[in-house]
Structure 1
């Protein structure tokens, strides 16, 4: 797999805004994050550790913060949000029901705090 920029360039136009937005918020919250890989996926990397990856899967868009604790940190805020499902280290959503900006910020900040600890 390539970089985040390559991933974004190759996306279907219907999916690009939702995925691009999450990466943009992550870059705002952690401007020193760099493009890299996390578990073989294009990701933003902070201090040498994967911060977040956002990928299109067959039936959803997946957000991977590489931490079950980061997902748990925003689980209550996503309760009842349409089209969202959570798994151990993944948040799944549909482009027509994007994740709220404040939840994305909280997710990225939770992961950043883990890396800093």
Structure 2
């Protein structure tokens, strides 16, 4: 990708398969878990916000990323993420080894809860 994306669709359109399909699937699961979240581009990657930054995703040469953006949520789900390379706020995965849909839902819902508690 040479041009900065202006929205989620343009980001995904610039990707080759199978990365395109894998991230489109991730986007669909995020939207299902957080239907009221707003899509935007943040720091050059597709992101979602609801009561603050929620989650985002991206593509690198060797892997795809799901940015959970919360060390606390990552720690709470560490036992379910052992099959993936992780950092304090992100999960690296490949199209051949995607993050399971139920886990995406749980992670997004945990972030929604975290953001809601900060709003009070």
Mapped pair 1:18 → 2:18: no
Partner residue of 2:33?
Answer: 29
Spell out the pairing of 1:1-117 with structure 2 (5 A cutoff).
1=4, 2-47=6-51, 49-79=52-82, 81=83, 84-117=84-117
Per-residue displacement from partner, 1:61-108 (whole Å, max 9, x unpaired)?
Answer: 1111221122223221122x2xx2011111001110011111111111
Measured at CA, do residues 73 and 93 of structure 1 come closer, stay the same or move farther in structure 2, by a change above 3 Å? same
TM-score (normalised: structure 2): 0.85
Shift of 1:43: 0.6
Runs of 4+ that moved beyond 4 A:
none
Contact residue 38 and residue 49 of structure 2 kept, 8 A: yes
Following the alignment from structure 1 to structure 2, what is the Cα–Cα distance between the partners of residues 90 and 78?
Answer: 10
Q: Where does the alignment leave 5 or more consecutive residues of structure 2 unmatched?
A: none
Tell me how far apart the structure 2 counterparts of residues 59 and 8 of structure 1 sit (CA, whole Å).
16
Question: What does the per-residue CA deviation read over 1:27-83, in whole Å, with 9 as the maximum and x for residues that have no partner?
Answer: 111111111133443211113x2211111112111111221122223221122x2xx
- 1 CA distance for matches of 2:27 and 2:79? 22
Q: Secondary structure at the match of 1:95?
A: coil
Report the structure number with the largest CA radius of gyration: 2
